[in-house]
Structure 1
């Protein structure tokens, strides 16, 4: 018998839905509390590395994801010149195994919809419009209060509620995301015919100019700059001005950066809970426990892995004990820490203008680690 019979999950994103699927498949009663009033249908693109695809295959949704997204296994490097000259096309390490692509890009709401439907099919319940206002842990169960005046009792609570986690705050973990000094413009636009992988351009007016195909007809393009105050309504103009220095596919991308394009601007942030992610019978995973700049595109993969490992230890144990939490911590903390530190380091090298940094060495050691299942 599993260590728990009824689990509450706060947050209907990648981490929460993954945990819900695996626990419900094992016959555990699962309820997801989501603060949004309804499923979100707008968003940008997401880059999924091979180790994320490995978990999606475990969930039984890989074929659906592959059909909706755009898979590739190379990485292009271009120069910041009018031609956007390609200087290298590199075979990427397939961190999910040789039978999966190295990378897949897709529209984030499509991914969430696939996972949400799979969770419902597994028997999980999703309740929208539920904002957590309080958590009480009596040692044997957790009672969650919500903004509508209701409360629910669970054997265990999983906080998968993102960067500004209400669960993290409620259980007394005083760690908050901090800016790293970089900001990113993202635009979801039509795919130029010659965009068949992620290409990165370092230099020019931005630290990085890049894009990722997300489907047969779409990409998300991004420009990374020094963090500053920006207005979203200025996005089309600012992105067009910054992108003027980049050629190749950027020539077509620029023409699509009009006021109908979906453009947003955010600062890179990072945080890491350096120790057990649980307090009693409440635990945080995914962006609630750790976050980092998307410089190695591992945010979603880490969320999937957290959820999969947590579900595994809960299903295989007979009781919720310190031994269970130690196993979870031992399997996740070091791996997540390595990803966070590498992501921040890559960004700091760019901020500091370091030209002789051993980027290939860092990326190779990280990918080698991630190729081993979590």
Structure 2
């Protein structure tokens, strides 16, 4: 009977990066992912690396480490992850005070510059000037999230790691049960994003980890040329997270919608010319909740059409995924109380930014290094 040092559940950016870093430290690692063709939050991400938005000494340190990590990551993983720099455009609605919105960003690591309507439209010619009162702009990093995950996984496999595409049904005292077999390990770490809460609950583990249902549209390569990555300056998602976690018990009742859905109209174009735009966030407590795709797509297209009219009727495919979050903006990393061989690595607010440095730190921590940052993110905090 083969016993691994670590079983990692989930093959998005968190599971892929952590598997690679654990293997680098010499641990035997099995990565389990239920879908051979990715259908997770990483797959439908915009790919933005918002180093500029760090607000605390902790997040500023991790952002600095992330910048350094990404500058060498393609070379280390021997793959092109399409790492580049873009102009981010934070749109200010036409019924808002630009100065008041700009004031909300004075505490971030790199406060964005306030633009007039004319300046915003010069930076992004596809903008509808009637829809905005101005905008904010700042540089941000950008990657292709799918290619980055695949780069991590391929490097992990070259280093001797193993991967199986199977659905995990149950976490066991020393391993996991899948749809086909039982795998044994000294430790299990859950990186399953929006499915993490359900998976832990099935093992009798209660943890303050939540999820939203996210909806967006992806196009094939198109002739439309976006010059920037666009999102609203007044993001509603963080307010949604705070409101929806005030009563934890509501999340254990199937069929609840904790707070009304929100839509943050944004878009990005990838190197190959494809576009992703969205996005709707819903706090539905059932991971398998049915969403009216037609109604959702109509809402998405109408909203993006107000800001970027050229995208409203572009052919594309509607997608839906789950995104995990915690109740205080910091991820949950470490051993779960009373289940010392079961770990969590999930709940990242900006996973593409901070997962690479935190995966490296966690692997070092497991290998015996002291790390105050990992300790601060313990589920026992």
Q: How would you bin the TM-score normalised by the shorter chain?
A: 0.5 to 0.7
Aligned-partner Cα distance in 1 for 2:341–2:143: 35
Can you list the C-alpha shifts for 1:177-206, whole angstroms capped at 9, x where unaligned? 5578xx754122356324333353659xx7
Aligned-partner Cα distance in 1 for 2:21–2:33: 18
Tell whether 2:195 aligns with 1:147.
Answer: no
The structure-2 alpha-carbon separation of the partners of 1:86 and 1:197, relative to structure 1 and needing over 3 Å to count, comes to farther
Give the counterpart of 1:263 among 301, 305, 318: 318
Tell whether 2:309 aligns with 1:251.
Answer: yes
The structure-2 alpha-carbon separation of the partners of 1:227 and 1:62, relative to structure 1 and needing over 3 Å to count, comes to same
Task: Tell me the TM-score normalized by structure 1.
Answer: 0.63
- Structure 1: stretches of 5+ with no match in the other structure: 93-101, 137-141, 293-297, 318-323, 338-374
Who is 1:315 aligned against? 367
Who is 1:210 aligned against? 266
Does structure 2 conserve the Cα–Cα contact (< 8 Å) formed by 1:20 and 1:32? yes
Tell whether 2:156 aligns with 1:119.
Answer: yes
Aligned-partner Cα distance in 2 for 1:105–1:275: 24
Tell whether 2:351 aligns with 1:299.
Answer: yes
Q: Secondary structure at the match of 2:31?
A: strand
Can you list the C-alpha shifts for 1:112-141, whole angstroms capped at 9, x where unaligned? 2222212112221101124242311xxxxx
The structure-2 alpha-carbon separation of the partners of 1:173 and 1:54, relative to structure 1 and needing over 3 Å to count, comes to farther
Tell whether 2:6 aligns with 1:7.
Answer: yes
Report the CA distance between 1:254 and its aligned residue: 1.0
Who is 1:173 aligned against? 205
Who is 2:44 aligned against? 44
- Structure 2: stretches of 5+ with no match in the other structure: 52-62, 95-127, 236-261, 285-289
Give the counterpart of 1:110 among 138, 147, 150: 147
Q: Secondary structure at the match of 1:148?
A: coil
Q: Secondary structure at the match of 1:175?
A: coil
Aligned-partner Cα distance in 1 for 2:81–2:177: 40
Does structure 2 conserve the Cα–Cα contact (< 8 Å) formed by 1:70 and 1:215? no
Tell whether 2:130 aligns with 1:91.
Answer: no
Give the counterpart of 1:219 among 257, 272, 275: 275
The structure-2 alpha-carbon separation of the partners of 1:45 and 1:276, relative to structure 1 and needing over 3 Å to count, comes to closer
The structure-2 alpha-carbon separation of the partners of 1:306 and 1:163, relative to structure 1 and needing over 3 Å to count, comes to farther
Report the CA distance between 1:306 and its aligned residue: 3.8
Give the counterpart of 1:280 among 332, 340, 343: 340
Q: Secondary structure at the match of 1:127?
A: strand
Report the CA distance between 1:303 and its aligned residue: 3.7
Aligned-partner Cα distance in 2 for 1:271–1:31: 26
Aligned-partner Cα distance in 1 for 2:282–2:189: 35
The structure-2 alpha-carbon separation of the partners of 1:300 and 1:171, relative to structure 1 and needing over 3 Å to count, comes to farther
Aligned-partner Cα distance in 1 for 2:214–2:332: 26
Does structure 2 conserve the Cα–Cα contact (< 8 Å) formed by 1:213 and 1:220? yes
Does structure 2 conserve the Cα–Cα contact (< 8 Å) formed by 1:78 and 1:199? no
Q: Secondary structure at the match of 2:306?
A: coil
Can you list the C-alpha shifts for 1:7-49, whole angstroms capped at 9, x where unaligned? 221222211111111122222221112223x242794233342
Task: Tell me the TM-score normalized by structure 2.
Answer: 0.62
Aligned-partner Cα distance in 2 for 1:169–1:83: 48
Aligned-partner Cα distance in 2 for 1:130–1:285: 18
Report the CA distance between 1:222 and its aligned residue: 1.6
Q: Secondary structure at the match of 1:281?
A: strand
Q: Secondary structure at the match of 1:7?
A: strand
Can you list the C-alpha shifts for 1:307-337, whole angstroms capped at 9, x where unaligned? 22210112235xxxxxx7x857524359xx9
Q: Secondary structure at the match of 1:307?
A: helix
Report the CA distance between 1:104 and its aligned residue: 0.7
Q: Secondary structure at the match of 1:90?
A: strand
Who is 1:332 aligned against? 377
Does structure 1 conserve the Cα–Cα contact (< 8 Å) formed by 2:214 and 2:281? yes
The 5 Å alignment of 1:224-243 reads 224=280, 230-243=291-304
Who is 2:216 aligned against? 186
Who is 2:23 aligned against? 24
Does structure 2 conserve the Cα–Cα contact (< 8 Å) formed by 1:210 and 1:222? yes
Does structure 2 conserve the Cα–Cα contact (< 8 Å) formed by 1:186 and 1:263? yes
